[in-house]
Structure 1
Amino acid sequence: MKPYKACSCRDAATKRLLGKQCPDLGKKGHGGWYARYEAPKSADGKRRQPRIGPYDTERECKQELGKMLGQAANPKALDERKTTLGQYLERRYTWRTSEAETGEGLKKSTLDAEREAIDLYLKPGLGHIRVVDLNDEHIRELYAAMRKINRPEEREERTEILRRLQEVRATRDGKRLHSRPISESRIRRVHAVLHGALTDIVKLSKIRPDNPADGVWRSKGGKRKQGRAKPLLWTVERVEQWEKSGLVPAKVMVWSSDQCGAFLDFAEASEERMYPAFHLDAYYGPRRGELVGAEEQDLSLARRRLHVLQAQSDDELDDTKTEAGYRQIPLDDETVRVLKAWHKRKLEERLQWGEAYQDAGRVFCYEDGSAMKPEYLSSRFRILIERYGNIRARHFEDEWSAERIARKYRTTEYAVRVALTMPLPPIRFHDLRHGAATMLLAAGVPIKFVSEILGHASVAFTMDVYAVVAEEMAADATRRIAAFIPRQNRLSAVGANSVPSGG
């Protein structure tokens, strides 16, 4: 079991390997260090003495020999010594898929995310490395390469691991992948998949005694780990600065009640088909997937209740994000009115489509009745905000009349007049949910009730995320849940023939 030095030189006459007998072993850099150890006997009772190596130094060889002696009592570790990380990841994914098919395992969306992490990052980056040889430096090198993807330094310093990542990212399922840089949050999600697999390697498969992914983030220098991004309110001062510079002060921004009311007035006046979905989201904050996944049988306008039982994930229905997501949302009079009008519109569309109508049984669907993709809601939301800004630019910068703007954008003059009442800074569709939580709290709705409406796991989470911005908005909220978003008195609040003169 003592380390020894050997090489691959051959005798000039016999062509046999010289191994430990090579006369050049004393020369610096010639040969490598090896060791043998006593392993458990094979299934047929034969003696086994595996060899490890080569290593550059005797010390390195001794360290590895110590590890192998510690595992020698475990036959599984010896049998799996040549197993690569890629092979184990595939084996583990098969197990997890099988568990999901019984209804006891992971959600499809979680398995899909794990499949993507394996295919795009873990297998091309580390899949060729044997499980027993993997160390924290390999993992750090992978994450360093991920951070260079789609950045200027990608072209300047193209390492081998980065080249492999780029090759698999060229296309996926026949489509080219996005050209944005990889975010730290995505790297952490990939790390979670890797860490989980290595934990199984240690605790379940017992191939190695330690998890090399432990402490990778803790030992990394630089910025402190940031917590969940908390919402920031679009105050008058922040809106003024945004109009001057175009810069958004934070990743998560929420509208004030006046701004949210202006958007809903604009969407309704623009005769936007998806206005009812925007209205429901702005008032009660269901997640995007919950909106498009809601079925007609889960909505009772007579009882004024929406049961949230599932969510749409990409092209398939799935469970809600958490167990707390299973909930009932009470509906106010205005929301019931909006949804009744929406039902009437869907009936008209059904008659127009006739036999071609595809009834998916959803509350919100495409015009032909088929199930809607979540991204469609976000797309319509972005289009409305962009149109709102363009209308204001045409009037205040180009001095167009309301009538001319309405013709240009094929909308109503009233929608134009709504857009001219105040600027509307940008937010994401998901931020409507944040805004609903904030306005409910600012309106004085009990925190526990707000937490239940949003489907949060705890009241503490709701308070931690939304309390500060709710206090900032409190001065704007004067009514409770049925009217916490101020709305203009349609067609009368803004004069029928008047147009504001300022921005």
Structure 2
Amino acid sequence: MGTPKKRQRGEGAISEYRTKAGPRFLIKFYVDGPDGSSKAVLKRGFRTRREAGAALRSEINKVDRGEWVQPSKQTLTDYLSEWLDGQRLAPSTISSYRKNVRLHIDRHLGRTPLDRLTALSIDVWMRKLEATGRADGKGGLSARTVKYVFTILRSALGDAVKHGHLAVNPTDRCSPPTNSQARPPEMQAWTAGELSRFLRWAEGRDPDMALAWRLLAYTGMRRGEALALRWRDVDLDAGRLAVRRSVGVVKRKGEGEKLVEGTTKTGQSRVVDLDAGTVAALRAYRAARGALSADLVRSTALVLGSLDGDHRHPERFSRRFLGQVRRAQKAVGEEQVPTIRLHDLRHTHATLLLAAGEPVKVVSERLGHANATITLTVYQHVHPGMGKQAADRFASLLDESPEDEPGPL
């Protein structure tokens, strides 16, 4: 048998060496650095020449395709920490990312070297989250939450490819929950009668909070936007207010939590017109606040601030709403005031306007959606009876049409 054919530089090389456990093989191949220089890479520990040859061909193919990256010992946890520090996102978004990384990624995949992640290991991780992923040990996470966490990981690994830490993004070949599986919980909204009933009850029990609930329901503002509203943003004479900012809770492990003001969800301001009744309610509310302290009605004061002039805590604000809904149910009956979340006042605003035939574009502008398509997507649902109204409206068009009207040419 002749001597093995000598490999060319671009083909790499295989060499045998001795160990106490017997012969082993190493492979050697070359990669070009960013500065154009060539660097030799060695990998050891292969038990057979065949195994070494297969590994060598795989590495050279990666080099040829531009997919080879320098091996790194950096763990996923360390990379994600560095990645999060470099993101330009709203503080509340970064806080949410950190929490989900800590609870759902670091605990399961964090010790894995970044370049050892595979599509299979990520799929196994997602199935584990769905089965037993809750941090309190009480079952699995919803498909919606799993998809959200997967999206964070996918974005981070996409940046790892862009910055040269990975050759390919393993999440490209994964199977996260589908959009259908991860759809949000069914949207709840009050009818006009249910909203009116609740507000009348609240006005008789807690006028200040009744004003807050009315403001949210009659404008469609998000919780954080309403809690960041200042008197300089409200023009009672013109009957409008400007939504310019939002406040949210930012939590970081070991640092507690704080309330931080930022832009609105879309990053854009908007003007929302007010009805006469809400203007009158705001005037009465401002007069009552001013009687307590002039500081509470200065132009820079928060409209829905605490008596100390501080932001109300968004989460406690939501819990207070739920508490009042429960008390209203005891007073007038649960069927008269069904249970909804605070955010559902925004859904109620949109749903009632759309049901009344208000143009989607107008509703979209009041809600502060980036475009009307979002409004149409979110509010595909309708109150019972709207479909029947549409059917009757279509039939009436034909009933009113002259029988001898000429058809299309």
The TM-score, its normalising length taken from structure 2, stands at 0.77
* Alpha-carbon spacing, 1:68–1:148, altered in 2? closer, same or farther (3 Å): same
Q: Comparing 134-143 with 261-270, which one deviates more in the overlay? A: 134-143
Contact preservation (8 Å) 1:3, 1:58: no
* Alpha-carbon spacing, 1:291–1:143, altered in 2? closer, same or farther (3 Å): same
Aligned counterparts of 2:347 and 2:39: Cα–Cα separation in 1: 66
- Matching residue of 1:203: 162
- Matching residue of 1:457: 370
Task: Please say if 1:225 is aligned against 2:180.
Answer: yes
Gaps of 5+ in 1: 7-15, 22-32, 97-104, 152-168, 170-176, 230-249, 392-418, 477-503
Deviation at 1:289, TM superposition (A): 0.8
Aligned counterparts of 1:362 and 1:58: Cα–Cα separation in 2: 73
Task: Please say if 1:432 is aligned against 2:390.
Answer: no
Aligned counterparts of 2:320 and 2:290: Cα–Cα separation in 1: 22
* Alpha-carbon spacing, 1:191–1:286, altered in 2? closer, same or farther (3 Å): same
Contact preservation (8 Å) 1:276, 1:342: yes
Aligned counterparts of 2:189 and 2:340: Cα–Cα separation in 1: 7
* Alpha-carbon spacing, 1:19–1:49, altered in 2? closer, same or farther (3 Å): farther
What is the SS of the residue equivalent to 1:255? coil
2:323 corresponds to which of 363, 383, 387: 383
Contact preservation (8 Å) 2:189, 2:344: yes
Q: Comparing 463-472 with 266-275, which one deviates more in the overlay? A: 463-472
Contact preservation (8 Å) 1:4, 1:20: no
What is the SS of the residue equivalent to 1:381? helix
* Alpha-carbon spacing, 1:320–1:268, altered in 2? closer, same or farther (3 Å): same
Task: Please say if 1:348 is aligned against 2:291.
Answer: yes
Deviation at 1:465, TM superposition (A): 3.0
Aligned counterparts of 1:148 and 1:227: Cα–Cα separation in 2: 15
* Alpha-carbon spacing, 1:464–1:87, altered in 2? closer, same or farther (3 Å): closer
Deviation at 1:183, TM superposition (A): 2.5
Deviation at 1:464, TM superposition (A): 3.4
Deviation at 1:335, TM superposition (A): 0.3
Aligned counterparts of 1:70 and 1:421: Cα–Cα separation in 2: 67
Aligned counterparts of 1:180 and 1:308: Cα–Cα separation in 2: 40
* Alpha-carbon spacing, 1:203–1:150, altered in 2? closer, same or farther (3 Å): closer
1:443 corresponds to which of 356, 360, 363: 356
- Matching residue of 1:316: 260
Task: Please say if 1:329 is aligned against 2:272.
Answer: yes
Q: How does 1:231-246 map to 2 (within 5 A)?
A: none
Contact preservation (8 Å) 1:274, 1:377: no
Aligned counterparts of 1:190 and 1:422: Cα–Cα separation in 2: 37
Aligned counterparts of 2:380 and 2:205: Cα–Cα separation in 1: 34
1:51 corresponds to which of 43, 46, 52: 43
Contact preservation (8 Å) 2:290, 2:297: no
Task: Please say if 1:193 is aligned against 2:152.
Answer: yes
Deviation at 1:437, TM superposition (A): 0.4
What is the SS of the residue equivalent to 1:367? coil
* Alpha-carbon spacing, 1:49–1:258, altered in 2? closer, same or farther (3 Å): closer
Q: How does 1:117-132 map to 2 (within 5 A)?
A: 117-132=100-115
Task: Please say if 1:18 is aligned against 2:1.
Answer: no
Which AA in structure 2 matches 1:280?
A: L
Task: Please say if 1:283 is aligned against 2:242.
Answer: no
Aligned counterparts of 1:180 and 1:332: Cα–Cα separation in 2: 47
Deviation at 1:130, TM superposition (A): 2.0
What is the SS of the residue equivalent to 2:353? helix
What is the SS of the residue equivalent to 1:317? strand
Contact preservation (8 Å) 1:40, 1:73: no
Task: Please say if 1:94 is aligned against 2:82.
Answer: no
Deviation at 1:179, TM superposition (A): 6.3
Contact preservation (8 Å) 1:358, 1:370: no
* Alpha-carbon spacing, 1:49–1:381, altered in 2? closer, same or farther (3 Å): closer
Aligned counterparts of 2:195 and 2:47: Cα–Cα separation in 1: 66
Deviation at 1:470, TM superposition (A): 4.9
Task: Please say if 1:216 is aligned against 2:207.
Answer: no
Contact preservation (8 Å) 1:298, 1:306: yes
Aligned counterparts of 2:179 and 2:56: Cα–Cα separation in 1: 38
Quick one: percent identity of the two aligned structures? 27
What is the SS of the residue equivalent to 1:38? strand
Deviation at 1:348, TM superposition (A): 2.7
Which AA in structure 2 matches 1:82?
A: K
* Alpha-carbon spacing, 1:81–1:217, altered in 2? closer, same or farther (3 Å): same
Deviation at 1:358, TM superposition (A): 12
Deviation at 1:48, TM superposition (A): 3.4
- Matching residue of 2:397: none
Instruction: Give CA deviations for 1:343-378 in whole Å, capped at 9, x if unaligned.
Output: 122223327xx9x99997211111222111112321
What is the SS of the residue equivalent to 2:172? coil
Deviation at 1:471, TM superposition (A): 6.9
Aligned counterparts of 2:54 and 2:149: Cα–Cα separation in 1: 30
* Alpha-carbon spacing, 1:35–1:196, altered in 2? closer, same or farther (3 Å): farther
Deviation at 1:69, TM superposition (A): 2.2
Deviation at 1:52, TM superposition (A): 4.9
Contact preservation (8 Å) 1:308, 1:327: yes
**How many residue pairs end up in the alignment?**
367
Which AA in structure 2 matches 1:348?
A: A
* Alpha-carbon spacing, 1:75–1:147, altered in 2? closer, same or farther (3 Å): closer
Contact preservation (8 Å) 2:123, 2:175: no
The TM-score, its normalising length taken from structure 1, stands at 0.64
Contact preservation (8 Å) 1:292, 1:362: yes
Aligned counterparts of 2:198 and 2:21: Cα–Cα separation in 1: 80
